Structure 1
Amino acid sequence: MGLTRLALLALTTALAGCVVVGPDYEKPALSLPASWGTAKAAKPSKAPELSQWWQRLGDPLLDELIDEAVADNLDVASAKANIRQARASYRQSVGTLFPSADGGTSASRSKSGGNVSSQFQAGLDASWELDLFGGNRRGVEAARYGMDAAEEELRAALLTMIGDVASNYVAARGYQARITLAKRTAASQRETAAITRNKFEAGGATAADAATADGQASSTEAGIPSLEAAYAETVHRLSVLTGRAPGALVERMKKPKPVPAPRLPIPTGIPADILTTRPDVRLAEAEYARATANIGQAEAARYPSASLTGNIATNGAKLGDLGKSSSISWLFGPSLTVPIFNGGQLKAAVDATKAQRDQSFIAYQAAVLTALEDVENAIVSLSQERIRSGKLASAAKSYGEANTVARALFQSGSSSFLDVLTAERSLYSASDALIESRVAIATDYIALNKALGGGWNGVIDSSRPVIVDKRTGPHLARQ
């Protein structure tokens, strides 16, 4: 009988180590295009160069701000804390696979009649759920995928943050360039207004010409406060993205610099690359895997569960008698629980986890389609904006030549003020649009790298808590 019991125990333990219920996770097989829609006729693009992609904008200050944001951005800090929580949850889940033991002691003193006696007791309780059908192991599996999801959330936070820093930095430089252009144009228009006024006093121009010249200069000057406000808001956003107060970067950004110009074109790889480079796609896959593991955990609840429990206790009249001249009692044995009737609750729980798994799979498919759409849109936007920028540069050059000629002819009396007015307006409009186009090219470059999954690929220490507690052990409570 003893050998039989040992054999049954060994078999039970072995089964507890290898039997699981519920579906095993399998990586989804999706049908993806062989190339991007805008590059079907061309040869396949090289793999995207996503490492430190922002450095190809050629602006050292931008590189510094991104490094600072990686260290101090609050969204990134929150994602780090989420990783620590996921790792702690994983350790909790792993703990369910091992036995647990608790110790306890007690002491009492009693009086009966004229006799006073003492009683001391010490004991140890232990239990071990054998996890016959792998419910706890499925829980550990789900927790492990939860850690993967938390790490992808950090990558996604970094990708978004780096893109936001770069976009706002480019926008700020664009506003500076537009403010400089507006001030320069307004000064030129003031000179034209002064010439027109002098010609009017000499009888070479009309009062309407003089008034129009003044009005055009004032109109250009009126647009400067709006640009200044937009610039200030962008710098404030940059400061907050780096984890600082809104005005922290005002001095560092004060000196105007050119709008960053990326090195183009950039390789975009193939659509299948996004399955490994996009953190939102990888996050959706981790959530799908976790939802699959949850089915097994719910399914295991429908099967019998077994556990081994035991305790040992010792009693004595004196503290020194415990374990010696005392009574010792022990108890050991298995227990088996079999679900018989629960009104269909356990089956419903399994069905609910299956529906959640379906939702996770649909979310994964949606993430993949969104990623494909983001890349396609960014490729088209960048390509078309480069064409537009070339046309605007040509237009600005031509209008600049026309403005020079028109001003010279007007000063010599060989041309009307209307020609100067038209030339100045056209030159300012084309020059301002050219700056906006350069900003758009840099912004589209940033969007394309984000769409391809380019984020931070350096080391991120997520193990350090933000708040370090003190006096966490037993201490007197504050009144």
Structure 2
Amino acid sequence: MRVVGIATSVSLLGGCLVVGPDYKAPQLNLPSKWGSNPRKAEVRAPELSRWWERLNDPLLNKLMAEAVAGNLDVATAKAKIREARATHKQAFGSLFPSVEGTASANRGRADEVVANDFKAGFDSSWELDLFGANKRSAEAARFGIDAAEWELRSTLLTLVGDVATYYTEARGYQARIALAKQTASSQANTAKLTRTKFDAGTASAVDVANAEGQAASTAADIPTLESAYTEDVHRLAVLTGREPSALTDQMAKGGPIPVPRLPIPTGVPADVLLSRPDVRAAERQYAQYTAKVGQAQAALYPSVSLSGNIDTEGVKIGDLAKGSAISWSFGPSLTVPIFQGGQLRAAVEVAQAQRDQYFIAYKSAVLTALEDVENAIVSLNNQRIAYRRRSVSAKAYIEASRLSNALYQSGASSFLDVLTAARSAYSAEDAQIQGRVAITTDYVALNKALGGGWDGQVDSSKPEIVDTHTGPHLAKIQE
């Protein structure tokens, strides 16, 4: 009882002791506002929850939900969470005693006498964890769960951004293909009319060559645009976890290019520390490796374990624990590191260097997040300016094409002027479509940079593979 009392007191004392640094969240100096925002812009918190729904595209919303449910990168991130939770259970289990049951049966012969010997008992051991090595291990594993969960959110953020981007680009290619087909058809008709005039002697061979060349040039754009469109549709299908051609029929029905409502609030730089999952994951990893420093330092101190066993022995199974011989032992053991050739201190230095790397990675993640937001703000603002100018340009070139045709019909302009104006009008309209796509993709990029991802519930507890018949069974030869 005296030994048990001493052991209990020591274990309670050990429960309060740890070595190594205690984790503190890093404090970083961040700017009070975004440098790329207009000086008088209103500062409001970002509206990041399901931001893609503000594009008012039901099919896009449907694809988002399908991607979250079926994407393979998301499935991998879920599995990593399950791994982190299991690792924490292992580390937490080291804080408790371990007990094992033993049993043996022997039959022997000596001096013409055959005898049986049956033994049964229990062995137990408990590391008291006086200096918190196991506690630091459990602490690191708990931070590892947090990091894995934020990694899942980071994967989801990338996923919803990719789905929105590829969907927008696909709709843009559809619009550009339609424009190219319409323009090529009009130019082909013009080429036929020019050849008819040439046959009648009212047009030159140069006019015919120019008209046919222009029609063929525009038609040549169509296969390239169709290839790019198909690649985006294939990518969308794979992002949802399906075969590349799964969305071909659904997307072929067509639809408008999603248009965002602008401007959007961007908040202040400090918001990214809470909203960006990659930043949150980096901070949790820094915390995890801070705990590992304490785990390594605890190895420099003595360790105390309690071990004990109780055994019973008899010549019959029925004698065990009754009329049999019973023996027991119980006591502490002390291990003191005396000389390890510098290995233990080197392990501490390794842990400290790893901790420093994750701290630097955290700071890098913060700077990258700030850079992403600043770049996205600049790009979106400039794309809006460029789009307004492209709209003016397209309107002017369309009018110039109409006037060139009228002047050509009256004989006041050459046919080359007509073709040049038509080509300029087509290029301007195509650039206008690309500008519309660029605004939406920059809108997507800004929401991603601010930390807008999937904020709904995600079940990470269900394994991808459910094992069956895992109990004892006859082995099968694997081919």
TM range (shorter): over 0.9
Alignment of 1:20-59 (within 5 A): 20-39=18-37, 41-59=39-57
Could you say which residue in structure 1 is the equivalent of 2:276? 278
Which residue of 2 is the match for residue 365 of structure 1?
A: 363
For the residue of structure 2 that corresponds to 1:404, the secondary structure is helix
Looking at structure 1, the residues matched to 41 and 327 of structure 2 have their Cα atoms a distance apart, in angstroms, of: 81
8 Å CA contact retained: 1:402, 1:423: yes
Cα deviations across residues 182-207 of structure 1 (Å, max 9, x unaligned)?
A: 00001111122122223323333211
For the residue of structure 1 that corresponds to 2:452, the secondary structure is coil
CA distance in structure 2 between the aligned counterparts of 1:411 and 1:166, rounded to whole angstroms:
47
More displaced 10-residue stretch of structure 1: 6-15 or 291-300? 6-15
Question: How far apart in 1 are the matches of 2:114 and 2:225?
Answer: 91
1:326 aligns with 2:316: no
Q: What 5-or-longer segments of structure 2 have no aligned partner?
A: none
Equivalent residue for 1:425, pick from 423, 426, 448:
423
Q: Using structure 2 for the length normalisation, give the TM-score.
A: 0.98
Shift of 1:40: 6.1
The superposition leaves residues 227-252 of structure 1 with CA deviations (integer Å, 9 ceiling, x where unpaired) of: 11111111111111110011111001
CA distance in 2, matches of 1:241, 1:411: 53
Pick from 217, 221, 224: which aligns with 2:222? Answer: 224
* Alignment correspondent of 2:193: 195
- The code of the aligned residue for 1:452 comes to L
Written as runs of structure 1 = structure 2, the 5 A alignment for 1:293-304 is 293-304=291-302
2:287 matched to 1:289? yes
Match of 2:128 in 1: 130
How big is the shift at 1:343?
A: 1.1
Answer whether contact 1:158 1:456 (CA < 8 A) is retained.
yes
What SS does the aligned partner of 1:477 have?
A: coil
Contact 1:213 1:421 in 2 (8 A): yes
Paired residues for 1:30-109 under 5 Å: 30-39=28-37, 41-109=39-107
AA in 1 matched with 2:355: R
Q: What's 2:348 paired with?
A: 350
1:408 is displaced (CA, Å) by 2.8
Moved more, 410-419 or 112-121: 410-419
Number of positions where the alignment pairs a residue of Structure 1 with one of Structure 2 = 477
Q: What are the Cα deviations for residues 276-327 of structure 1, in whole angstroms up to 9, with x where unaligned?
A: 1111111110111011000000000000000110000000000000000100
1:135–1:301 CA contact under 8 A, matched in 2: yes
| DSSP 3-state at the match of 1:356 | helix
Seen in structure 2, the aligned counterparts of structure 1 residues 355 and 435 have a Cα distance that, compared at 3 Å, is same
8 Å contact 2:46–2:264 — kept in the other structure?
A: yes
- Cα offset, 1:426, TM superposition: 0.8
Q: Which secondary structure does the structure 2 equivalent of 1:249 belong to?
A: helix
SS of residue matched to 2:100: strand
Quote the offset at 1:6 in angstroms. Answer: 5.5
Alignment partner, residue 440 of structure 2: 442
Deviation at 1:7, TM superposition (A): 5.3
Report the residue type matching 2:243 in the other structure. A
CA apart distance, 1:115? 1.4
User: 1:77 Cα shift?
Assistant: 0.2
* 1:400 maps to which of 374, 398, 412: 398
* Contact kept? 1:35, 1:44, Cα under 8 Å: no
Instruction: Write the deviation string for residues 347-405 of structure 1: whole angstroms up to 9, x where unpaired.
Output: 11111111111111111111000000000000000000001001111111111122122
Distance 1:8 1:325, change over 3 A: closer
Distance 1:197 1:40 in 2: 56
Q: CA deviation at 1:422?
A: 1.5
Among residues 315, 318, 329, which one is paired with 1:317 in the alignment? 315
Aligned to 1:118, the other structure's residue is in SS state: strand
Shift of 1:412: 4.0
Identity %: 62
**Structure 1 residue 9, shift from structure 2 partner:** 2.8
Mapped pair 1:173 → 2:171: yes
Matched, 1:471 2:473: no
In structure 2, C-alpha distance between the alignment counterparts of 1:345 and 1:415, rounded to whole Å: 90
SS at match of 1:315: strand
The verdict on how the C-alpha distance between 1:207 and 1:175 changes in structure 2, with shifts beyond 3 A counting, is: same
Change (3 A) 1:418 1:429: same
- Mapped to 2, the partners of 1:313 and 1:411 lie a distance apart of 113
Give, in angstroms, the shift of residue 14 of structure 1.
1.6
**Residues 195 and 411 in structure 1, CA contact (< 8 A), matched pair in contact too:** no
* 2:244 paired residue among 217, 234, 246: 246
Residue 259 of structure 2 corresponds to 261
Contact 2:191 2:208 in 1 (8 A): yes
Tell me, what secondary structure is at the counterpart of 2:241?
coil
Letter of the 2:404 partner, please give it.
A
Deviation at 1:41, TM superposition (A): 1.8
Given the superposition, is the C-alpha separation of residues 419 and 267 from structure 1 closer, same or farther in structure 2, using an over 3 Å criterion? same
Shift of 1:224: 0.7
Aligned-partner Cα distance in 2 for 1:199–1:257:
40
Q: Distance in 2 between matches of 1:340 and 1:112?
A: 48
What is the CA–CA distance in structure 1 between the aligned matches of 2:8 and 2:80, rounded to whole Å? 40
1:157 pairs with 2:155: yes
How far apart, CA to CA, are the structure 1 residues paired with 2:299 and 2:34? 47
For residue 44 of structure 1, report the CA deviation from its aligned partner. Answer: 4.7
- The residue number in structure 2 matching 1:186 is 184
Question: Is the contact between residue 137 and residue 295 of structure 2 (CA under 8 Å) also seen in structure 1?
Answer: yes
**Separation (CA, whole Å) in 1 of partners of 2:235 and 2:346:** 48
**Given residue 66 of structure 1, which amino acid in structure 2 is its aligned partner?**
M
Once residues 398 and 39 of structure 1 are traced to their aligned partners in structure 2, the CA distance between those partners, rounded to angstroms, is 31
Match of 2:112 in 1: 114
Contact 2:52–2:61 under 8 Å retained in 1: yes
Contact 1:44 1:270 in 2 (8 A): no
Q: Which moved more, 1:112-121 or 1:454-463?
A: 112-121
- Determine helix, strand or coil for the equivalent of 1:450: helix
Does the 8 Å CA contact 1:170/1:439 hold for their aligned counterparts? yes
SS in 1 for 2:306: strand
SS class of match (1:455): coil
Distance across 1 between alignment mates of 2:250 and 2:187: 31
> Which whole-Å CA distance do the structure 1 matches of 2:89 and 2:4 have between them?
31
